[in-house]
Amino acid sequence: MADRVRVGIVGGGRIADLNKIGWLDHARGEIVAVCDTDESTRSARAAEWSCKPYEHLEGLLADPEVDAVEILTPHHLHASQAIAALEAGKHVSLQKPPTMSLAEYDEVAAAATRAGTVFKVYENFMFYPPHVLARQIVDEGGIGEVLSVRIVTAAGRMGTGQGWEVSASSNAWRLDPSLCGGGMMTFDHGFHCFQMGRMFVDAPVEAVHAFINVLELGPGTQIDAPSLISWRYAGIPVRYGSWEIVASLDLDVMSEYYVSDDRIEIRGNSGIIWVNQCSGRLLEEAPVVHYRDGVVRAFHRVETDWAVSFRDATFDFIDAVLDGGQPHLDAVEGRATLAFALAAQLSASEHREVAVAEMG
């Protein structure tokens, strides 16, 4: 058995700054190659990571030193690149949303089965320490039976000096549904929130209803907000979840990353959990608050750096490759979240409730 995983990173753009962390921090991980069609990005990343640059994916996949491939490219490329990497016998970590359709997804999953290598859908909110703590409180029975999950996202004001610089090229493909697969909030960012919708309830989502508004911001620039997506979990008792996206485009959100404020409220039959932080920060409040039996527990000391969720998602992949386990979002679980996300898109376009089973 190999003692480390040598990765080739495909796509050295904005998010590579967070995806790299796990590879640099894990004692058994190493970045050995980068592939990016943009020459300046490719050479800058090769210099930064002291690794081999490849212009074309074929070159990187033919490199015997590359054990695993991390795909960080625009969504329309995910399926073909993942299949090529799996057919080359590589382990694959594929950034969310894994593909733009379930048909594409099933081709990737079939390639993973044929390859027999590790395949992970990379979703990091599920590793964000406040979310992990909330799930732990649920597991300990801290709110009794979970009855409701409510998520709110505020897309905040850009260009205030808060948050990351996001290049025009990084935004451009997100504004084209044929490259992104859907809107930048409800489909691109959405994969995280649909995963959160699934994270705290141990029952599948069976039906979805979505209002998705497209707000024109200027020529060729739009945001799919305000939007309101609700869903029903299977089984008894009847339980609903919801995700609201508010276009608070003049709201200052403090952040070292994206200027987006994501909050989650999880209600049970005997308690409530509030998760007040994610990539953005608004109020000086505890990141996790738990209420039960007249007692409020405010968790001030939980790690809140959003980058940690990326580190731990990468660690999950490296450990699965070396220790022979399943990564946390494997082919089956990744499909369930994608089907949920696509059901919301279908619901909004057809103005009706959609059963997730309809998605195939």
Q: Binding to ligand NAD by residue 43, rule CB under 6 A?
A: no
Q: Binding to ligand NAD by residue 99, rule CB under 6 A?
A: no
Using CB under 6 A, count the residues that bind ligand NAD: 23
Q: Give residues 261-300 in contact with ligand NAD (rule: CB under 6 A).
A: none
**Shortest Å, Cβ 207 to ligand NAD:** 26
Q: Binding to ligand NAD by residue 327, rule CB under 6 A?
A: no
Among 22, 30, 31, 41, contact with ligand NAD (rule: CB under 6 A): 41
Q: Binding to ligand NAD by residue 190, rule CB under 6 A?
A: no
The span of 73-81, 82-90, 135-143, 350-358 binding ligand NAD (CB under 6 A) equals: 73-81
3-state helix, strand, coil in the chain (%, to 5): 40, 30, 35
> Which C-beta is closer to ligand NAD: that of 7 or that of 207?
7
> Which C-beta is closer to ligand NAD: that of 164 or that of 240?
164
Angle at 36 between CA 34 and CA 37, to 5 degrees: 150
The span of 9-17, 141-149, 245-253, 326-334 binding ligand NAD (CB under 6 A) equals: 9-17
Among 43, 101, 148, 170, contact with ligand NAD (rule: CB under 6 A): 170
Residue type, 25: D
C-alpha separations of 27 from 24, 68, 280, 319, 335 in Å: 8, 16, 29, 11, 30
DSSP string, 149-194: EEEEEEE--SSSS-S----HHHHHGGG-HHHHSS-IIIIIIHHHHH
* Structure tokens given for 308: 């940690």
Q: Binding to ligand NAD by residue 12, rule CB under 6 A?
A: yes
Among 44, 48, 77, 254, contact with ligand NAD (rule: CB under 6 A): 77
C-alpha separations of 143 from 46, 99, 256, 274, 315 in Å: 48, 35, 32, 11, 30
**Shortest Å, Cβ 84 to ligand NAD:** 11
Alpha-carbon span 353 to 351, nearest angstrom? 7
Alpha-carbon span 274 to 268, nearest angstrom? 12
Are 268 and 145 spatial neighbours (Cβ–Cβ below 8 Å)?
yes
Per-residue binding letters, 102-131, with ligand NAD (x by CB under 6 A): ----------------------x-------
Element of type H or E holding 40: helix 39-49
Using CB under 6 A as the criterion, which residues of the chain lie in contact with ligand NAD when the complex forms? Answer: 10-15, 35-38, 41, 57, 72-75, 77, 95-96, 124, 169-170, 188
